[in-house]
Amino acid sequence: MGLDELEDEILKKARHEAKEMAEDAQSEASKLLDEARARAKAQVEHEERSAVDGAAEQSAERTAAARLEAKKIVSDGSEAAISASMDQVWECLCETKKSKAYPQILKSLATKGIRELSGYGNLAVKAQPQDRKNLSGLKAEVSQGGFEGSGGVVVETKDGRVRADYSFESIFAASKDSIRRDVHNELFGRGRK
């Protein structure tokens, strides 16, 4: 399995698990949205009743303000559901460290970084102390200095000027927009409320 295929497999797995978590979160999101819609509807109805007592101009202003507030409530509920799902995707990625495949994934990420920086001279691979044992046999020195992160590796030149960051944080950040879009589509895609 090539490095790109392995990285794609990691992201595919994370997305698949995210999809499963999104389905679980979907009922939670649906509940949050239903509650938000109910509050918004009640507020609109209250404002409409109050507006009937006032002048026509004031009525229109209050109704518009109530509708705007209702949209904000629904939007806040949607954002809360998406944020919760994104947190679950992150947790899923971090759980990869506990898998049997993690040593191979770690070594593949290091190899990819080494290839990426192969023309820059002597390289060092940084990993968390407990992960270093999985990095033997590389064409770069495994640094005794680690990095603060949840998993993965950072490959850099010995002088630290050039680096290839394959930490979980970097992988997640690079895919965050795509994952967020997938989560949004799962939670609120066509045919959903």
Higher pLDDT, 149 or 192: 149
Percent of residues, the chain, with pLDDT higher than 90: 24
**Which residues, in sequence order, are CB contacts of 27 under 8 Å at separation 6+?**
none
Q: With respect to residue 193, please indicate whether it lies within any of the assigned structural domains.
A: no
Q: Do residues 118 and 49 both lie within one domain? A: no
Q: What confidence tens digit (pLDDT) does each residue in 71-83 have?
A: 888 888 888 888 8
- At 69, the pLDDT band (50, 70, 90 cuts) reads confident
Backbone angles phi, psi at 54, to 5 degrees: -95, -175
Backbone angles phi, psi at 100, to 5 degrees: -65, -25
Q: Do residues 26 and 93 both lie within one domain? A: yes
In this structure, the number of other CB atoms found within 10 A of the CB of residue 69 comes to 15
Q: Do residues 88 and 108 both lie within one domain? A: no
Q: Do residues 76 and 8 both lie within one domain? A: yes
Our measurement of the distance from residue 85's CA atom to the centroid of its chain's CA atoms, rounded to an integer in Å, reads 8
- At 36, the pLDDT band (50, 70, 90 cuts) reads confident
Residues spanned by the domain of 157: 102-170
Q: What confidence tens digit (pLDDT) does each residue in 123-177 have?
A: 999 998 888 888 888 888 888 777 788 899 999 998 889 999 999 999 999 999 9
Give the Cα separation of 59 and 65 in Å (integer).
10
Q: What pLDDT is recorded for position 39?
A: 83
Q: With respect to residue 112, please indicate whether it lies within any of the assigned structural domains.
A: yes
Q: Do residues 127 and 149 both lie within one domain? A: yes
Which of 152, 192, 156, 142 is closest to 175 using CA atoms?
152
Average pLDDT of span 87-96:
89
Q: With respect to residue 127, please indicate whether it lies within any of the assigned structural domains.
A: yes
- Write the single-letter amino acid at 168: F
Supply the mean pLDDT for the chain.
Answer: 83
Q: Where are the alpha helices (DSSP H) in the chain?
A: 3-53, 56-95, 102-116, 168-188
Lowest mean pLDDT, pick from 1-5, 44-48, 93-97, 156-160: 1-5
Q: What pLDDT is recorded for position 53?
A: 63
Give the Cα separation of 155 and 106 in Å (integer).
12
Give the Cα separation of 96 and 130 in Å (integer).
14
Q: With respect to residue 166, please indicate whether it lies within any of the assigned structural domains.
A: yes
Q: Do residues 165 and 125 both lie within one domain? A: yes
**Hey, what's the torsion of the CAs at 98, 103, 108, 113, to 10 degrees?**
80
Q: What pLDDT is recorded for position 106?
A: 92
Q: Do residues 12 and 94 both lie within one domain? A: yes
Does residue 46 surpass a pLDDT of 90? no
- At 191, the pLDDT band (50, 70, 90 cuts) reads very low
Q: Do residues 76 and 114 both lie within one domain? A: no
**Which residues, in sequence order, are CB contacts of 167 under 8 Å at separation 6+?**
147, 149, 150, 151, 152, 153, 154
In this structure, the strands spanning 152-157 and 123-126 are antiparallel
CATH number at residue 113: 3.30.2320.30
- At 109, the pLDDT band (50, 70, 90 cuts) reads very high
Q: With respect to residue 37, please indicate whether it lies within any of the assigned structural domains.
A: yes
Q: Do residues 11 and 46 both lie within one domain? A: yes
Q: Do residues 135 and 87 both lie within one domain? A: no
In this structure, the number of other CB atoms found within 10 A of the CB of residue 17 comes to 17
Q: Do residues 88 and 181 both lie within one domain? A: yes
Q: Do residues 77 and 116 both lie within one domain? A: no
Does residue 23 surpass a pLDDT of 90? no
Q: How many domains does the chain have?
A: 2
